Chains A and B, each alone.
Chain A
Amino acid sequence: MTRKWVSTSKGILFASGLLVGLIFLFVVPREAAGRLQLAYAHVFRWPLSMGRGVVRAQATTPTRNISPQEYEDLLQACQQLRIKSDNLQTQLQDANRQIELLTKLKAKPGLEHMQTIPAKVYTQVQDEMTISEGRESGVAVGQYVLSLTEARLDEQCVIGVVSAVSAKGAKVRLFSNRDSRIPVRIAGLNVSKVMEGRGDGAAKIPLVSCDHAIHVGEAVYAQAKRGLLDVPVIVAEVAQCKKDADYPNVWDITARPVCDFTTLSDVVVLKPASAP
C-alpha cells in the first residue's frame, strides 16, 4: 500500500513537472519568459557582472609568446599595411577632392544637364593631350573638354575638343592646336567667330571688324553648341589686339589660354546627359 502511494506520488510529481515545462514552453508567451529571465539577470546583476568582468579580463590577457623572428615578420607586415593604408588614404583624399570639384562644377548654371566624365591627363605633346578615359566611359569625338583645377574653380575653362577615342583613352585637341577650330564669342560683342589654333600655345580670332572695340584681357567664350555645350564657357582671353597687316579694317586678335596646360593633371569631358 505504501509502495503504491509512493509510486503514485512519484508519477504525479513527474507529470506535474512535465506539465509545468510544457506550459512554460507552449503556453507562456515568449515575452513573459523573457521578462522572467531579465528579472533574474536584474536581481543577480552584481555577481553576474563581476563574473563577466573576470572572464573579460582573462580573455584580454595575452597568453601566447612569440619568437623574435615572428615578431620581426609581424612588424614588417604591419609596416607594409601602414604604407598601403597611407596610399589608400591619399587616394581617398584625391577622390574626395575630385568629387567636391565635380559637384561644384555641376552646380554651375547651364551645366546641370551635362554629364561630366573626370579623367587624368597622361601626356601633353604639341597642343594635344592624352587622357585616361575613353569609349568605355562614354567619351566620344567632338565632346568638349574642360580643365579641372582647384585654383580656378570658378573659371573652369574649355581647353579643347576630343579628337580621337579608343576604348580606354582619348586624345584631346587643345584649342591652340593648328587644326583646332572652335566657334567663340568675345565678351561684350554679339558676333560669333571661329578661333583657330596657331600651334604655339595660343590661338587667333580672325576677321573681327575694327568697328568693334576689343581690349586686351577680355574673355573669349566657346559658344554653346547643341548636344555638346549647353552654355557658353570661357575658353581663352585676349592677349593681343592689333590691326591686321594685310587687311587694315580687321583686327588681328591673339588669344591665350586662361589656364596653364602644362600643369593640368585633371580634366573633365562634357557629355550630354541624354547621350547613351
Chain B
Amino acid sequence: MESGIVGSDGMRWFRFAVLVLVASLLQTGLVGALAIGRTDFKPDLLLILLVFFALRSNSTDAIIASFAIGFAADLSNPIAGRLMGPRIISFGLFGTLLSDLNSTISPRRVIYQIVTIFLMGGLTAGLSYLLAFLRTNAAPANMAAGCFWQPLYSALLGPFLFLPVGWCMRMYGRGHRRYLRGAPLRR
C-alpha cells in the first residue's frame, strides 16, 4: 500500500502524515494532561517531530517535513487566534537549518539531542512570536512559557519519543542517513 507514496530515499509519507496528524491531535487535546504546575508548561510534540525528521531524514525530505509540521502546528495550536504562518515559517526555516547542520554536527548522544530540541524550541518560538507581533501588532501572551518552559519540557521528553517514532517511521537513528546513502552501518 505504501509503495506508491514512499519517497525515493525511503521516507514514508503516509506514515509521516498519520504521525503528524496524531501528534497535532494529541498536542491539542491530550498533552494538557502532562502539564506540570501551570497549564502552559507542557511538551510540544510537533517540535519533537520537527527535530526528529530534521536529524534523521535527508535534507530534501527534511525541508518538506519541516514546513508540513509547521503547517500542522499553525492549524492545531496557533500562536495567536485566527493566525497562520508564523510556525510554517519558523519550523521550515529552522528545520532546514538543522538538517543542513546535521551533516557537520550530528547530535547522536541524548544530551546533545536534549540541547538541540531546547534550542530549536526557543528559536522557533521566538521567531513565531516575532512574526505574530509583526502581523497583529500585539504581544502574544505566555512568551516565557513558549520560549523557555515548553522547549525545556520537550527537550527532556524528546529523546525518549525518538525511539517509538523511529520505529514507526522505520528510521532507526544512528547511521540512518549513511544507510540511505548506501554506506555500510557501523557495527
A binding-site residues for B, Cβ under 8 Å: 6, 9-10, 13-14, 17-18, 20-26, 28, 30-31, 33-34, 36-37, 40-41, 44, 47-52, 54-55, 58
- Who on chain A is nearest to B97 by CB? A14
Majority-rule SS of A interface residues: helix
Question: Shortest beta-carbon distance, A140 to chain B, in Å?
Answer: 55
B33 on the A face (CB < 8 A): yes
Please give the number of chain B residues whose Cβ is less than 8 angstroms from any Cβ of chain A in the complex: 32
- Given A26-B135, A30-B82, A51-B28, CB of A20 within 8 Å of CB of B67: yes
List which B105-149 residues lie within 8 A (CB) of chain A.
Answer: 131, 135
Q: List 29 A-B contacts (CB under 8 A).
A: A9-B60, A10-B60, A17-B64, A17-B66, A20-B71, A21-B86, A21-B88, A21-B89, A24-B74, A24-B84, A25-B83, A25-B89, A26-B135, A30-B83, A31-B82, A33-B83, A34-B81, A37-B76, A44-B25, A47-B25, A47-B29, A48-B29, A49-B29, A51-B26, A51-B30, A51-B32, A54-B29, A54-B33, A55-B30
Question: Shortest beta-carbon distance, A9 to chain B, in Å?
Answer: 7
Name the B residues within 8 Å of A41 (CB-CB): 28
What CA separation (Å) do A193 and B182 show in the bound complex?
A: 124
B82 and A22 form a contact (CB under 8 A): no
What CA separation (Å) do A41 and B86 show in the bound complex?
A: 19
Question: Shortest beta-carbon distance, A213 to chain B, in Å?
Answer: 84
What CA separation (Å) do A13 and B99 show in the bound complex?
A: 14
Question: Shortest beta-carbon distance, B143 to chain A, in Å?
Answer: 18
Other A-B pairs beyond A13-B64, A48-B29, 9, CB < 8 Å: A18-B92, A28-B85, A34-B82, A37-B78, A44-B25, A48-B25, A50-B29, A52-B29, A58-B33
- Who on chain A is nearest to B30 by CB? A51
- Who on chain A is nearest to B29 by CB? A51
B93 and A37 form a contact (CB under 8 A): no
B57 on the A face (CB < 8 A): no
Name the A residues within 8 Å of B28 (CB-CB): 41, 48, 51
Chain B 48-80, CB-CB to A under 8 Å as 1, else 0, gives 000000000001100110110011001110100
Query: Which of these, B25, B60, B64, B75, contacts A51 with CB under 8 Å?
Result: B25
Question: Shortest beta-carbon distance, B186 to chain A, in Å?
Answer: 25
What CA separation (Å) do A82 and B92 show in the bound complex?
A: 58
Question: Shortest beta-carbon distance, B39 to chain A, in Å?
Answer: 9
B96 on the A face (CB < 8 A): yes
Question: Shortest beta-carbon distance, B98 to chain A, in Å?
Answer: 13
What CA separation (Å) do A13 and B58 show in the bound complex?
A: 13
Query: Which of these, A14, A30, A33, A48, contacts B92 with CB under 8 Å?
Result: A14
What CA separation (Å) do A48 and B59 show in the bound complex?
A: 33
What CA separation (Å) do A240 and B86 show in the bound complex?
A: 94
B25 and A37 form a contact (CB under 8 A): no
Name the B residues within 8 Å of A20 (CB-CB): 67, 71, 88
Name the B residues within 8 Å of A30 (CB-CB): 82-83
A17 and B67 form a contact (CB under 8 A): yes
What CA separation (Å) do A26 and B29 show in the bound complex?
A: 28
